[in-house]
């Protein structure tokens, strides 16, 4: 396990709620939150200069969600503006543990999540060690 500098600023990604994200009542459908969390982790990687498509193309590696825990605190609604946060909590040889939250623009926390993403050789669909230097700072 590699220690992580937790003093780093959280990465934040904005999301606006559209009809496609909601149920018939204008409340965000629970599965939509998973997309928001995934997009924020992807944009966090991009902010570090890492493109997942390039990693897969060059090395056959991908990060796949291994486990996830969600705590739905309050509902998001149609037209809400949200902020999705990403923070690395732990790096193991073959996985990264993220703490993520989703906040409404007024600062109210709507969802809290922990997500473990495993580095996988997509040809064999087996976990592999995260190559040194693959993600800057980890």
80 is catalytic: no
Catalytic residue (choose from 5, 23, 71, 106): 23
Residue 14: C-alpha distances to residues 43, 48, 80, 87, 98 (Å): 10, 17, 11, 15, 18
CA atoms within 13 A on the CB side of 134: 21
Q: With H, G, I as helix, E, B as strand and everything else as coil, classify residue 127.
A: strand
Q: With H, G, I as helix, E, B as strand and everything else as coil, classify residue 94.
A: coil
d(CA 27, CA 109): 16
The set of catalytic residues is: 23
């Amino acid at each position: 396990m590699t220690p992580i500098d937790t003093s780093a600023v959280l990465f934040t990604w904005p999301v606006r709620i559209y009809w496609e994200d909601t149920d018939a009542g204008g409340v965000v459908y629970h599965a939509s939150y998973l997309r928001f969390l995934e997009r924020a982790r992807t944009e966090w990687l991009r902010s570090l200069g890492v493109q997942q498509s390039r990693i897969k193309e060059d090395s056959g590696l991908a990060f796949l969600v291994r486990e996830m825990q969600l705590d739905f605190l309050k509902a998001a609604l149609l037209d809400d503006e949200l902020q999705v946060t990403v923070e690395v909590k732990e790096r193991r040889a073959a996985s990264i543990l993220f703490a993520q939250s989703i906040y409404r623009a007024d600062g109210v926390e709507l969802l809290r999540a922990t997500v473990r993403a495993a580095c996988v050789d997509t040809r064999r669909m087996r976990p592999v060690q995260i190559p040194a230097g693959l993600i800057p700072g980890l």
